[in-house]
């Protein structure tokens, strides 16, 4: 047993066993503890959140809490026979079902017959259904029946990254808890604790790199740490992190960005040669470059750490950011990511034509383009003064800033017949049209003040017939739920601008949109960015 413990993955060894050990998610934890304290835990609970944010850990802790014989102010003791049996996974009254597996589907089928048997050892029987959005069509009715009249002694806990896959009658019977991505500080803090306990040391920069790469998921961070600690026995250095994870050192990223911003394509291409020779991952490099550019943009606004690039000016930085952001890393197409990066390197003026992707790209939102989160506002707005927009009789010049930022594909092909020229001639709207008119749509819908934060928080990610899909960042699925309730206002706004009736579907997606006004500063920042993109739009217009 001890030898397995030695090789046990960090994320298993360090899995939270009590509410107090959960990192972040304070609001959810507090609500759950209160429910435990007052003995009012719902029999149907749904944990929603990105991977690695603690959904199943919370479900297990809650299972302990409702069974613990030595409960302490809503916190399970983690020492009584019930707690220990759950922690060690050896009680027959806790069912952990992975809905994504075949065995999971069989288990759900069995559930109907067995759910009515009272627990054998614990006070309550608990079913934890992980990846629950993957539950098959024929299995849902079984669950619904059970959820409608659950035996007194049973609790159901669902965990899912995509609750949009749940049937509505199921959702309406579950109490929902939304977990957010963890911050770099939260992840870094736990990594430091783990390292200290293992007697290992690490450069702060190394920890920071891992925490950033994990993108809000503790489990990914812990897996990376595992991998890193297994390949080296000394102090963990940033250099080692980059080496093992295929990352590029900061200086090289900066040199590339310098070439990108200043239009020195040859220097940039040589850098790319070097990276490929050293076997660096261009995908990770592109993300690093986008992040670097974002920081430089902030620096040029007098925020964050000063950057040498900031001297290029916000306009040039924004133009470069837009060229990088238009790279669809999931589908780089012929020539791969390398070619896309080379195209981005070509001089800013020429970039619009050269980097124009095949028209098909237009239909495919660059859902990845991750780190532009803080370079929020929208390239699409720069299309406003272009020929394609003015050909539209009903299209007034769009305001300089819009929330749709995947739109460079739309405006980058000024010579082509615009995809949006004939909305009436098509059976329904296209994503390209939607992106092009997005600024207007935002403006129209913003006239209803309570709806404004919603339309600003999302962007169009798909069109199917007359159904328009709006994506909300997974981290803000709260907005998605509110938007769902105000769908009529959204539908009315979109329909009015496009001139065709549409229905709207709201989904949580892996999109990053403009920063929401969480603090007064971000509102100011947003204004600043609008100004930048506004200036920049003029530049592009002059060139074209
Ligand atoms: Zn206990």
Q: Is 249 helix (H, G, I), strand (E, B) or coil?
A: coil
Q: For the chain, where do the domains classified as CATH 3.30.300.180 start and end?
A: 427-513
Centre of ligand 1 from the C-alpha of residue 84, in Å: 7
**Percentage of the chain exceeding pLDDT 70:** 76
Q: How far is the CA of 86 from the centre of ligand 1 (A)?
A: 9
pLDDT given at position 476: 62
Phi-psi region of 313 (alpha: psi -120 to 50; beta: other; left: phi over 0): left
Angle between helix 336-345 and helix 282-300 axes, rounded to 10 deg: 30
SS3 call for 46: strand
Helix, strand, coil percentages, rounded to 5, for the chain: 55, 10, 35
Q: What pLDDT digit, counting tens, does each position of 466-482 carry?
A: 899 998 877 666 667 77
Q: How far is CA 124 from CA 80, 89, 288, in A?
A: 15, 15, 48
Separation of CA 218 and ligand 1 centre (Å): 25
pLDDT of 260-277, one tens digit each?
998 888 899 999 998 888
Residues of the chain with CATH 1.10.8.60: 184-245
Q: Which of 50-64, 89-103, 404-418 has the lowest mean pLDDT?
A: 404-418
Query: Residue 79 C-alpha to ligand 1 middle, in angstroms?
Result: 5
- Greater confidence (315 vs 518) lies with 315
Weakest-pLDDT range from 70-74, 94-98, 130-134, 248-252: 248-252
Residues contacting 524, CB < 8 A, separation 6+: none
∠ CA 58-59-64 to the nearest 5 degrees?
Answer: 95
Pick from 385, 378, 424, 426: nearest CA to 402: 378
What is the 465 CA–ligand 1 centroid distance (Å)?
A: 54
Q: Which CATH class is domain 427-513?
A: alpha beta
Please tell me what DSSP assigns to residue 149: S
- 75 Cα: distance to centroid of ligand 1 (angstroms): 8
Q: Could you tell me the distance, in angstroms and rounded to a whole number, from the CA of residue 371 to the centre of ligand 1?
A: 43
Question: How far apart are the C-alpha atoms of 297 and 309, rounded to whole Å?
Answer: 8
Q: Which strands sit side by side in the sheet containing 459-464, from one edge to the other?
A: 459-464, 467-473, 503-509
pLDDT at 122 over 70: yes
Q: How confident is the model at residue 62 (pLDDT cuts 50, 70, 90)?
A: very high
Whether residue 388 has pLDDT greater than 60? no
Rounded distance from Cα 46 to ligand 1 centre (Å)? 23
* Range of weakest confidence among 172-181, 354-363, 444-453, 465-474: 354-363
Residue 530, C-beta contacts closer than 8 angstroms, at least 6 positions apart? 377, 400, 401
Gap from CA of 403 to ligand 1 centroid (Å): 49
CATH 1.10.8.60 applies to domain 184-245: yes
- Transcribe 505-524 into DSSP letters: EEEEES---SPP-SSHHHHH
Instruction: Compute, in angstroms, the gap from residue 174 CA to the centroid of ligand 1.
Output: 25
Residue 174: which pLDDT band, with cuts at 50, 70 and 90? very high
Confidence at residue 327, expressed as pLDDT on a 0 to 100 scale: 86
Q: What is the pTM of this model?
A: 0.56
Q: 93 or 385: whose pLDDT is higher?
A: 93
Percentage with pLDDT > 90 across the chain: 35
pLDDT for 513: 61
* Mean pLDDT score of the chain: 77
CATH no. for 2-178: 3.40.50.300
Q: What is the mean pLDDT of residues 440-467?
A: 81
What spacing in Å lies between the alpha carbon of 20 and ligand 1's midpoint? 14
């Amino acid at each position: 047993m001890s030898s397995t413990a030695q090789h046990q993955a960090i994320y298993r060894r360090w899995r939270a066993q009590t509410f107090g050990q959960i990192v972040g998610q304070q609001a959810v934890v507090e609500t759950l503890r209160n429910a435990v304290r007052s003995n009012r835990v719902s029999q149907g609970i749904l944990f929603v959140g990105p991977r690695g944010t603690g959904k199943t850990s919370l479900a297990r802790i809650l299972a302990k809490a409702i069974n613990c014989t030595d409960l302490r102010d809503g916190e399970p003791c983690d020492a009584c026979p019930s707690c220990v049996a759950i922690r060690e996974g050896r009680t027959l009254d806790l069912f952990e079902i992975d809905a994504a597996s075949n065995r999971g589907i069989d288990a759900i089928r069995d559930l109907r017959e067995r759910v009515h048997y009272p627990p054998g050892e614990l006070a309550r029987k608990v079913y934890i259904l992980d990846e629950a959005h993957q539950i098959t069509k024929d299995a849902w009715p079984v669950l619904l029946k059970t959820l409608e009249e659950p035996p007194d002694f049973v609790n159901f806990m669902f965990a899912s990254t995509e609750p949009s896959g749940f049937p509505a009658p199921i959702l309406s019977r579950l109490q929902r808890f939304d977990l957010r991505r963890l911050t770099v500080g939260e992840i870094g803090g736990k990594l430091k604790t783990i390292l200290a306990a293992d007697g290992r040391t690490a450069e702060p920069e190394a920890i920071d790199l891992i925490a950033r790469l994990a993108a809000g998921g503790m489990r990914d961070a812990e897996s990376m740490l595992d991998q890193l600690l297994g390949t080296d026995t000394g102090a963990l250095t940033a250099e080692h992190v980059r080496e093992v994870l295929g990352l590029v050192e900061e200086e090289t990223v900066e040199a590339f960005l310098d070439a990108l911003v200043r239009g020195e394509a040859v220097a940039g291409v040589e850098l790319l040669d070097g990276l490929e020779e050293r076997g660096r991952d261009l995908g990770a490099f592109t993300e690093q470059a986008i992040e670097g550019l974002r920081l430089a943009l902030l620096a040029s606004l007098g925020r964050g750490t000063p950057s040498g690039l900031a001297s290029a000016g916000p306009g040039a930085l924004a133009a470069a950011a837009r060229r990088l952001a238009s790279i669809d890393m999931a589908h780089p197409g012929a020539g791969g990511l390398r070619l896309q990066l080379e195209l981005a390197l070509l001089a800013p003026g020429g970039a619009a034509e050269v980097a124009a992707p095949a028209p098909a790209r237009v239909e495919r939102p660059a859902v990845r383009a991750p780190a532009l989160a803080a370079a929020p506002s929208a390239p699409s707005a720069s299309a406003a003064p272009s020929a394609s927009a003015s050909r539209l009789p009903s299209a007034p010049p769009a305001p300089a800033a819009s929330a749709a930022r995947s739109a460079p594909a739309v405006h980058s092909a000024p010579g082509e017949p615009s995809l949006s020229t004939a909305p009436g001639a098509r059976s329904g709207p296209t994503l390209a049209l939607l992106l092009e008119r997005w600024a207007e749509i935002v403006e129209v819908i913003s006239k209803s003040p309570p709806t404004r934060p919603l339309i600003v928080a999302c962007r169009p990610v798909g069109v199917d017939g007359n159904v328009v899909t709006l994506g909300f960042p997974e981290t803000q699925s709260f907005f998605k739920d509110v938007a769902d309730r105000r769908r009529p206002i959204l539908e009315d706004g979109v329909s009015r601008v496009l001139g065709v009736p549409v229905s709207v579907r709201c989904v949580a997606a892996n999109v990053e949109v403009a920063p929401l006004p969480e603090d007064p500063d971000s509102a100011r920042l947003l204004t600043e960015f609008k100004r930048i993109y506004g200036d920049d739009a003029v530049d592009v217009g002059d060139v074209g």
